[in-house]
């Protein structure tokens, strides 16, 4: 689906998102059990997260601080007084029979996060209704193929701290929704609030979507809101929303059913089939019978605390893009590419740029060589064999003209393969650095052998000098073509 297709549709797609992210703590929200992913089932559980009688929850300070950090970075108003509530429902993965969440006094509300399409398609400032802190449920598994009547419950995840982030219905296309999620993820990873790993369930997204359809009489018809669940990647979110918009338009044409005439519907995304399917109707929120959790005391936040958290936040990606572009004189596009790769890539870039003393060339090498290689190898920058000082050494030598860029790339590939330094690779590849006196002697030889080219250049056809490069490479494969060309032109001018 392309942006131009979106604008030609006879409706506006209205999207709001509800995102849950797992906070990067060592232990659970209300007990000291580990939150490490991938442990054997029911090995990270205790009386508190199992909901055994007599156990009492005590809140994790780090979880609350990380949640504050997320809310501040999203521009939220922080409540001076907040409390936790019980959300009551029965499900086998919820051992207490209620989830500790926040209802009427969330710790933060009224924020926003802007997303800009780097291709210039849109800028969207998305309102945040609220960010609150709650506990996760466990996992239930049902193996239908095994033909058993049982579901298996693992409660390792029960009680893991989650931030719930709810947006206003401000997004206007599936593409915007995906781009916004990317920006949110980038921000939260930069802040160290969450690793946002969707495969491990550290980030989950539900979407609310309906259509606004202008009518001939000027009225706007609104279709019933549908909540979409089971989307396992940002790409799935985009695909599910695109599918759902078309489905709702078809349904509206058939039924003319508008918002408010039917209960809110929940649909699940079936990724292989590429369709959404109806799920059970959502219970009304009053059915959760929220009430304040008597086991937890309220939390108050003052200005001094907020200042401390703010001071620990560093620059968010949106600010860093501008800072990086100005400091290193690189284009906004280049700054965007680097920042979107994450904090470690930015640190690597700045290290290389500082050593080389120039941003643009460092950015080029990062984007064309380092990032491409990381992509191909599926590696992260901290395990990358070419360290910033080695890359800076290589770039410096190319800039000094010891060898040209394509030779530099060969050396880079060899450094990557062997993990050796520039000097070692140069020696092992038999790349002797050609000194200036040798180069001049070689150029004089070439000019003596090619009177026609000399005459052409003197006649004003400088491009004729290109004919000398191949011959120079034959005489000495280590010469830098650009330097040969420049030296020959200087010698001819001096004739």
Partner 1 sequence: MTLARQDVAKVAMLARLELSDAELDTMTSELSKIVGFVSLLDELDTAAVPPLAHPLDTQNVFRDDEPAPSLTTAAALQSAPRHDGEFFLVPAVLGESGAA
CB 193 within 8 A of CB 69: yes
Nearest approach in angstroms of CB 104 to partner 1 is 9
> Measured between alpha carbons, how far is residue 141 from residues 5, 36, 187, 206, 383 in Å?
40, 19, 32, 20, 35
> Which member of 14, 16, 126, 136 binds partner 1 (CB under 8 A)?
136
Is 281 among the residues that bind partner 1 (CB under 8 A)?
no
Residues listed for the chain: 495
- Strand pairing report for 265-270 and 226-231: parallel
Is 109 among the residues that bind partner 1 (CB under 8 A)?
no
CA–CA distance, 180 with 443 (Å, rounded to integer): 57
CA–CA distance, 397 with 414 (Å, rounded to integer): 16
Is 88 among the residues that bind partner 1 (CB under 8 A)?
yes
Encoded tokens for 241: 């929303």
Beta-carbon count within 10 A of 391 CB:
25
Is 154 among the residues that bind partner 1 (CB under 8 A)?
yes
> Which member of 42, 168, 232, 421 binds partner 1 (CB under 8 A)?
42
CA–CA distance, 479 with 460 (Å, rounded to integer): 25
> Which member of 13, 27, 173, 194 binds partner 1 (CB under 8 A)?
27
CA–CA distance, 246 with 257 (Å, rounded to integer): 15
How many chain residues bind partner 1 (CB under 8 A)? Answer: 70
CA–CA distance, 328 with 324 (Å, rounded to integer): 6
Is 91 among the residues that bind partner 1 (CB under 8 A)?
yes
CB 358 within 8 A of CB 391: no
Place of tokens 């009224």: 110
Nearest approach in angstroms of CB 97 to partner 1 is 9
Closer residue to partner 1, CB minimum distance, 35 or 167: 35
Is 264 among the residues that bind partner 1 (CB under 8 A)?
no
> Which member of 294, 430, 451, 460 binds partner 1 (CB under 8 A)?
294
Is 192 among the residues that bind partner 1 (CB under 8 A)?
no
> Which member of 114, 250, 270, 287 binds partner 1 (CB under 8 A)?
287
CA–CA distance, 394 with 364 (Å, rounded to integer): 13
Is 280 among the residues that bind partner 1 (CB under 8 A)?
yes
Nearest approach in angstroms of CB 200 to partner 1 is 13
CB 20 within 8 A of CB 67: no
Is 141 among the residues that bind partner 1 (CB under 8 A)?
yes
Is 166 among the residues that bind partner 1 (CB under 8 A)?
no
Is 108 among the residues that bind partner 1 (CB under 8 A)?
no
Encoded tokens for 246: 């078309």
Is 377 among the residues that bind partner 1 (CB under 8 A)?
no
Closer residue to partner 1, CB minimum distance, 134 or 414: 134
Local structure of 389: helix, strand or coil: helix
Is 51 among the residues that bind partner 1 (CB under 8 A)?
no
Enumerate binding residues for partner 1 (CB under 8 A): 20, 25-27, 31-34, 40-47, 50, 52, 58-64, 81, 83, 87-93, 99, 101, 105, 134-137, 139-142, 149-155, 162, 201, 204, 229-230, 266, 268, 279-280, 287, 289, 292, 294, 296-300
């Amino acid at each position: 689906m392309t942006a131009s297709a979106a604008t030609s549709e006879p409706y506006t797609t209205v999207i709001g998102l509800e995102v849950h992210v797992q906070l990067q703590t060592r232990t659970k929200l209300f007990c000291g059990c580990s939150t490490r992913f991938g442990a054997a089932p029911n090995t990270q559980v205790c009386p508190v997260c199992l909901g055994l009688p007599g156990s009492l929850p005590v809140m994790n300070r780090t979880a609350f601080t990380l949640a504050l950090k997320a809310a501040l970075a999203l521009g939220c108003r922080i409540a001076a007084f907040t409390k936790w509530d019980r959300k009551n429902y029965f499900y086998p993965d919820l051992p207490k029979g209620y989830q500790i969440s926040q209802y009427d006094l969330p710790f933060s509300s009224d924020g926003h996060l802007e997303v800009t399409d780097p291709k210039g398609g849109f800028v969207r400032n998305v309102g945040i209704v609220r960010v609150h802190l709650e506990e996760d449920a466990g996992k239930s598994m049902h193996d239908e193929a095994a033909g058993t009547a049982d579901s298996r419950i693992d409660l390792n995840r029960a009680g893991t701290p989650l931030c719930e982030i709810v947006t206003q219905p401000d997004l206007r296309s599936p593409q915007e929704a995906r781009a916004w999620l990317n920006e949110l993820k980038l921000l939260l990873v930069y802040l160290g609030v969450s690793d946002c790993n969707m495969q491990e369930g550290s980030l989950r997204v539900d979407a609310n979507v309906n259509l606004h359809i202008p009518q001939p009489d000027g009225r706007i018809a609104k279709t019933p809101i549908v909540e979409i669940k089971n989307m396992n990647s940002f790409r799935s979110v985009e695909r599910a929303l695109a599918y759902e918009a078309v489905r709702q338009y078809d349904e509206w044409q058939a039924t003319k059913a508008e918002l408010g005439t039917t209960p809110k519907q929940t649909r699940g995304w079936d990724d292989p089939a590429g369709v959404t399917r109806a799920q059970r109707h959502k219970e009304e929120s009053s059915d959760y019978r929220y009430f304040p959790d008597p086991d937890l005391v309220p939390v108050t936040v003052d200005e001094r605390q907020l200042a401390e958290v703010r001071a620990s936040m560093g620059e968010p990606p949106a600010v860093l893009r501008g800072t990086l572009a100005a400091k290193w004189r690189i284009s906004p596009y280049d700054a965007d590419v680097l920042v979107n790769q994450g904090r470690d890539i930015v640190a690597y870039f700045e290290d290389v740029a500082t050593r080389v003393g120039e941003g643009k060339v460092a950015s080029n090498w990062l984007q064309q060589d380092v990032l491409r290689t990381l992509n191909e190898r599926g590696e992260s920058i901290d395990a990358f064999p070419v360290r910033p000082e080695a890359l800076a050494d290589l770039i410096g030598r190319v800039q000094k003209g010891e060898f040209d860029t394509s030779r530099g790339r060969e050396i880079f590939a060899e450094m990557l393969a062997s993990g050796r330094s520039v000097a070692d690779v140069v020696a092992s590849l038999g790349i002797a650095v050609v000194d200036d006196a040798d180069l001049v002697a070689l150029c004089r030889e070439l000019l003596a052998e090619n009177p026609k080219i000399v005459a052409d250049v003197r006649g004003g056809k400088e491009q004729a000098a290109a004919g000398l490069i191949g011959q120079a490479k034959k005489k000495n494969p280590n010469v830098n073509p650009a330097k040969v060309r420049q030296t020959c032109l200087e010698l001819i001018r001096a004739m």
